[in-house]
A and B are shown apart, each in its own frame.
Chain A
Amino acid sequence: MEILKTLWKSPIGPKTTHFWGPVFNWSLPIAAYVDRNKPPEQISGRMTGVLCVYSALFMRFAWMVQPRNLHLLVCHAANETVQLYQFSRWVNAQGSSPQQEKEEPES
């Protein structure tokens, strides 16, 4: 009960915009999680790379801003993880697909 009261009254709690902004920011990592198994050809390397840098910067921002916003920090940490995963899938697909198309007719 005490924990709930503390959370309710928190400077980054549900009565403030510092709470609801990050709530909507969760849509980015959730979208990437939903897309985790889609074929790598459909991944935009440009957008994914930008989102990786974006979340890294905002993790630092969430830590330094007043009031310190751990909710935002966790949200961007999650996004960083998923985006890096998608980016790695895109990178791995870069080396293979055009070459495979060339190799198959030769062999």
Chain B
Amino acid sequence: MLVYTTCTIRNSKKEIDLMAAKKLQAFWNHPAGPKTIHFWAPTFKWGISIANIADFSKPPEKLSYPQQLAVTFTGLIWTRYSLVITPKNWNLFSVNVAMAGTGLYQLSRKIKHDYLSETEAAVAKE
């Protein structure tokens, strides 16, 4: 009974190894896989959102309205386009959702700083 069980588990592991190897090979050799620009260009686009998140700690005076507006709007437009193209590209979708999200947050920080502090200064003068 014990021999049967261990044999079955060992064979199942071999089957799983074979499946994993096949899937990894399929990924590695895919025409849009990690040997191609079709993989790395959209993957690197995450860097824009990561850089923006790292810039969350920057003082709002140093943020750029044109740049953050551009990041937000390209993010929003490409979020839609990634679902309209064939095939639907969920990686492209998610990276652009992130871009739009971080852009909107940075814009809200700068707008709050530029317009909320004006009202605070006005109140302080009174």
Contact = CB atoms under 8 A, between A and B. Distances in A.
A37 B74 CA distance: 23
A61 B74 contact: no
Q: Contact residue range for chain B?
A: 20 to 34
A54 B44 contact: yes
A51 interface: yes
A34 B63 CA distance: 14
Taking chain A's interface residues, is the majority helix, strand, or loop, or is none over half, making it mixed? helix
A44 B44 contact: no
Contacts of B71: 28
Taking chain B's interface residues, is the majority helix, strand, or loop, or is none over half, making it mixed? helix
Interface residues of A, number: 30
Q: Residue among B58, B67, B71 with the most chain A CB within 10 A?
A: B67
Interface of B: 36-38, 40-41, 44-45, 47-48, 50-52, 54-55, 58, 61-64, 66-67, 69-71, 73-74, 77-78, 81, 84-85
14 contacts: A17-B81, A27-B70, A27-B73, A28-B70, A28-B74, A30-B66, A31-B67, A41-B62, A44-B64, A54-B44, A54-B47, A57-B40, A57-B41, A60-B37
